[in-house]
Every structure is written in C-alpha cells, then in structure tokens.
Amino acid sequence: MGTTDRGLRADLLVIGFGKGGKTVAATMGGLGKRVVLVERSARMYGGTCPNVGCVPTKALVHHSRKRRPEDVPQEWYERSVGEVRALTKLFRGGNYDGLNDMDTVSVITGTAAFTDPHTVRVETADGPLTVTAETILINTGSEPIVLDIPGLRTSQYTVTSTELIDTTILPERLAIIGGGYLGLEFASIYGQFGSEVTVLEAAPKVFGLVDDDVAAVAEDILVEERIEIVTGAAVTEIRDGETSATVVYETDGQQHTLEADAVLAATGRAPATRDLGLDAAGVRTTERGAVEVDEHLRTSRPHIFALGDVNGGPQFTYISLDDSRIVLDQLLGEGKRSTDDRVAIPHTVFITPPLATVGLTEKQARAAGHRVRIASQPVAEIVAMPRAYIVEDTRGVMKFVLDAETDEILGAALLSVDAQEIINTVALAMRHGIRATELRNAVYTHPTSTEAFNDVLATIVRADT
C-alpha cells in the first residue's frame, strides 16, 4: 500500500462496505490495485444485507414459521435471535477476511469525510489518518427514516428495524408506523412470533404497488394471521408511560389511541450522506439527499462514483451488485454498461407466502395503452402445483399481465410458496422476449412451483376485445 506523510495513498478508495463497493474492491484488489475500504462500524462489514437487512430478517421469517403452538413465544424468539446473530457474525467475519486478507487491500474501521476531491480524513480508534485515491466509490447505503412526529424520536419505546431485530425481548404489543413493504414484512414476522401487531398506514390502502385484486388477497392473508391493519391513519403523537407507549392517531377525523410495548418506525430509508463532507469534494446531491449520479454512476466529480442505496436508486442488494458491474465496466471495460440497461427487475416482499412482482401491473399496462389479457388463478386451484399442497400452504394467487396482440409478458404478481424464486424465471423470460405461450408450454421439473405456469398461463380469465 502506498503511503504519504499524511497517510495512505491508493488506486481505489471505497467508503462503505456495501455489496457494490466490496465487489469492486475485491475485483480491483485481485488485479493488484491498491485498495482502501473504510467502514464506520465493525458491525457492518459486508453492508446492510448480511448484518441488519436481508439475511437477518429472512432468517427471522424462517424461525418464526418454525414455532409450534407449545413453544413459549418469548423463549422461542430469544433463541431465534441468538441463532440469527450467530449467522450474521459468520457472514460479517467472512466479508472482512475476504477483503482484508488480500495483499493489496486494507479495511479501515472509522468515519470518513472528504477534505478535497481526492482525499478523505478517517477518524479511527487509533486516531485520524488520511487516504488519497485516484478513484473513489461512495457506498454508504441508507438509514431508517424516523418521522418528526411529536414524541416519536424521543420515546424510549421507538425502534428502527435495525434495533428491533437486535433485541431479545419479544414485544407483546407491537405498533408499526408505516404499511409499506418493510412494515408489512415485520408485521408478518412478529405476528408469527406471537406479538399482537397493529400496522398504521397513512395511505388509503396497503400493497399499493400491485393491482387491487392481488392486494386484497395479500391483505387477507395478514388479517387471517391476526394482524390489524389500519389505513388512512395519521399518527399525531407518541406518549411514554412507565411500561408502554401510547400511540395517538386519527382516522376520518376521529382520534384513537393504542398501547404498545414497542413502536417500529417503518416509513422508509434515506441515503446516508451525513458528515461525508460532500461539499469539500464538489459532489452534488439531489433534492431528496441522494448522491447525484449519471447513467454510469459517476457523480458531479467524474472520478467519484456512488453505488447502492446512497445514489437514490432502488434499495435492493441485487441493484447494488449490478451497480458494481457498471462501475467495473467504466474502470476496466468498454464503458457501455449503464442503468438504462436494466429491464424487468423483480422485487419480493417476504410476507408468508412471499409476494413477488416484476414489470407492469394491469392498471399500469392499460394506462400505457396496451391491449391486455389477464391470466390469473388462486394457488389453491392450480392443479399443476402440488408443491403448494406438499408444503401445506395453498394461500395466494398468481397473475400475469400479457399484451393481447404480441403475447408479450408485460408483468406478473406471484403471491405463493416459492414466489421469490420463480419470479426470476419470469423476469428472465421478459428480458429475453420469451412469450407467454412459450413459458406456458415449457417443460418444468415436478413437483415444483414453476410448473404452475403450465396451468396459470393456459387460463385467460379476462381479455380486451
């Protein structure tokens, strides 16, 4: 590693240990480039996903569903959290060692702030140091948004998603402010662990990103699991008591109160750019606080890139991974790959069963001027899907939106067992122009969830004339 009187000199500096940044760091380090990666927290090696995001939350989904009626909720939850902590520790160590053990890569734990366009000052436990680099990646991710509701930020009962999954105390009564996908996923998890869950959503409905028919099935599943969902709810105050919080909210002009042992703020995540000193680097941000980037993820300073949640794009680990491909193409390739290349990007919310979507909804397709055909079936009626009966969960629905003239798959919403897996098959088909008829007539292994396509796509329940 190169040094100067002021500290380290590198070919590449990565600020933040997220998926995109660590992938570029590993690739460049493998080519013998001098790489420094700075991460402010020793608990976040590897980024959000393996530490406080995808891995622990999906592990909790798994553990919550294994609880039997005779298992004491608090004991089962505490045991589950312990096992999840062991898993995240394993992933965290693997991420750290995988990079720091490379000859030309150094991982530094500390808080970085720009002092000029090529230099950052890093505050570490051993004192400050500077890092100067030719190319810099901002990869600091996002952080939970806690709304400025009276009492919410100061309440001892308010938790973020990060804090909630780190506690070993199962809240008997959990109030969730925000009925987006994060809030609903946590509602599903903690309801299954045994908490009494109430979701307060300001919008007139939940699952607003899918068509009403699919949303209704998904909401019914949560309600059947004794999760209370209150829509059109404006939370006005959080008042602390000795042993619980009182959540005050209004619906239709009427005031209501709710007692809760924990209040989860689940109203989204914002790009983490505070204290980065972006002004000193001449790096512009958007009105929403994200680092401004072009289609090649270059910032207003061409040698500085921003990857992952911090650049204001979709907040998914797999998008951050694709960001790394774009940046590596800029650094090592032809420089042609861009965010404009992304087509049919799937998404899953991990309620049980999962709800996975890709492409356009029926409403969006019609608004875009398509003549559409709809193929839709409840999972319980899909003869070619014995997998759902084998695993004893026949809840849900599969819906495809098709172009009536071209047979193109415009979009799909899969609410079913294994939806998080089979949506990738649909997305791949869409990206490569495979028509609905081909997907319907394909040969799939048995018994699997994918073979449901044989039935669902043979059933056109509604067509434009």
d(Cα 206, Cα 219) in Å, to the nearest integer? 7
Burial classification of residue 55, based on how many CB atoms lie within 10 Å of its CB (0-12 exposed, 13-18 middle, 19 or more buried): buried
DSSP string, 75-109: HHHHHHHHHHHHHHHHHHHHHHHHHHTSTTEEEEE
**Residue length of the chain:** 465
413 close to 346: Cβ distance less than 8 angstroms: no
Tell me how far apart the terminal alpha carbons of the chain are, to the nearest angstrom.
68
377 close to 394: Cβ distance less than 8 angstroms: no
- If one counts every other C-beta atom within 10 angstroms of the C-beta of residue 438, the result is 13
The DSSP code for 449 is: S
d(Cα 138, Cα 276) in Å, to the nearest integer? 9
Positive or negative: CA dihedral 280, 283, 287, 290 = negative
Active site residue 63: no
Helices (H) and strands (E) in the chain, counts: 14, 23
Chain center to CA of 305? 21
Tokens 């061409």 -> residue: 302
Which amino acid appears at position 443 of this protein? V
Q: Read off the tokens for 456.
A: 């669902």
DSSP string, 274-336: TTS-HHHHT--B-TTSPBP--TT-B-SSTTEEE-GGGGTS---HHHHHHHHHHHHHHHHS-S-
Of these residues, 118, 303, 370, 446, which one is catalytic?
Answer: 446
Closest CA to 417 of 65, 22, 32: 65
Give me the phi and psi of 279, to 5 degrees please. -60, -40
Cβ within 8 Å of residue 431, ≥6 positions away = 343, 344
Tokens 């919310």 -> residue: 349
> Strands (DSSP E) along 146-253, which ranges?
158-159, 173-177, 196-201, 228-231, 234-240, 245-251
Active site residues: 446
